[in-house]
Structure formats: C-alpha cells, structure tokens
Amino acid sequence: MRKSLTEREQNAIRDKLIESCRVCWERYGYKKTGVAEVTAMSGISTGAFYGFFASKEMLFVETANAFTKKLYDIMTVSKPQVATRNDFATGLTQCVNELFDNKWIFSLREDAETILRKLPADYMEQDFQRDVIDIAAVVALYELTPKVPSDELTAVFHTLLMSIYLTDIIGAAHKQALYMLIDSVIPNLFEQEEL
C-alpha cells in the first residue's frame, strides 16, 4: 500500500513540476515539451502527474501564473515605506525588465490559442478574476486610489504586459516604449497623492 503524501510533500512536487515545466518551456517551447519530459525532470511518474494537473495545458498555465506571482512579488518588494504612484510605475518597469529577462514567456504568443482551447471553458474568466483581486491587493499595498474600476485597471495592466508577446514585431524600442506607456498611463489610473 502506498503512503499518502502530506500537503507539504504535495506542494513540493507541484512546485517541482512547475519549475521543470518552466525549464522545458524555455529549452524546447510548448509544442516540444511533453508530460514525459516534465515528469522525468521532476522525478515522478507520468501517471502521478495527473494527480497534480489535469493536462499539460493546465501545467503550462500554472507555470505562467507562477511567473505572474513573481511579478506581484517584485511590486511588493520594490515598494518604499511611503509609496507614490511614481513608485508604482517604477515597480511596473521592474516587472517589464523581468519579462524581458525571461524570454520563454514570449512564446505564449504562438501557443496561446492552442493552450486556451484545451482549458476548461470558464478557466480564463476565473483567472482574470484572480488577477483583479491580486492587482487590487498590490494597489492597496501602495495605498493608491484608483480612478477606474478594478476590472479596467486589470485590463490596462494585462494590455501593457501582454504586449511583451509582440516584441519581435515591434522591435528593439519595445522596452523603452513600455516604459513610456507606463509613465503616461499611471496618472490616468490613480489619484494624485496628497502632500
């Protein structure tokens, strides 16, 4: 009889699968990464994989979500004790730098449609709602007052950060253009701090 895994052991395996997926994704891309490669790198059987993720696509989405959490962590760590909307913009530019340093995430442009087609119908709506909550938490951490509703704020951030997938089309000035867009959009999203 096989011993049940503790929650801590399950979380460790799940994290290892996500990290292995990130490494394989970076090396081989979505199409050439299979469950077998990820599980071999993680040290678990292919059959055990399905106890953690329903499909390869769910693992890829969770790997992208883990990266998004890293971006939220950057925003949290970079926040000064007394933050302004300019500090928020600085945090966003650090997120842009992290995106450009992790070019594997760029491949989502080619594979997003395939991945999304294979996800449960309501997954993306739920994922967007989680992002609304997470972005609202970061905004609250910075003690900023939004001028727009939370879903619009989230959509603006998605639009800015998702443009990363167009870097090869936009060209070398893309990163600088994102910096300028961030600087110009922040005053339209948040009230001016009181002095």
Confidence of residue 194 (pLDDT cuts 50, 70, 90): low
| % pLDDT > 70, the chain | 97
Q: What is the pLDDT of residues 52-88, one digit of tens each?
A: 999 999 999 999 889 989 999 999 998 888 889 999 9
Phi, psi of 25 (to 5 degrees): -60, -45
Question: Rounded distance, CA 144 to CA 122, Å?
Answer: 31
Q: How far apart are the first and last CA of the chain?
A: 66
- DSSP result, 18-38: HHHHHHHHHHH-STT--HHHH
In a 10 Å sphere around its CB, with 0-12 CB exposed, 13-18 middle and 19+ buried, how is residue 88 labelled? buried
Please state, in angstroms and as integers, the Cα–Cα distance from residue 84 to each residue in 124, 136, 152, following that order. Answer: 31, 15, 20
> Higher confidence at residue 145 or residue 123?
145
Is 85 within 8 Å of 40 (Cβ atoms)?
A: no
**φ, ψ (nearest 5 deg) of residue 190:** -130, 145
pLDDT score at 139: 92
- The answer to whether the beta carbons of residues 42 and 16 sit under 8 Å apart is yes
| The residue count for the chain | 195
pLDDT computed for residue 1 by the predictor? 39
pLDDT digits (tens, 9 = 90+) for 20-64: 999 999 999 889 999 999 999 999 999 999 999 999 999 999 998
Q: Percentage of the chain surpassing pLDDT 90?
A: 54
Instruction: List, as one string, the DSSP characters of 95-146.
Output: HHHHHHH-GGGGGHHHHHHHHHHTS-TTHHHHHHHHHHHHHHHHHHHTT--B
> What are the tens digits of pLDDT across the range 84-143?
999 999 999 999 999 889 878 877 777 878 888 888 888 878 888 888 898 999 999 999
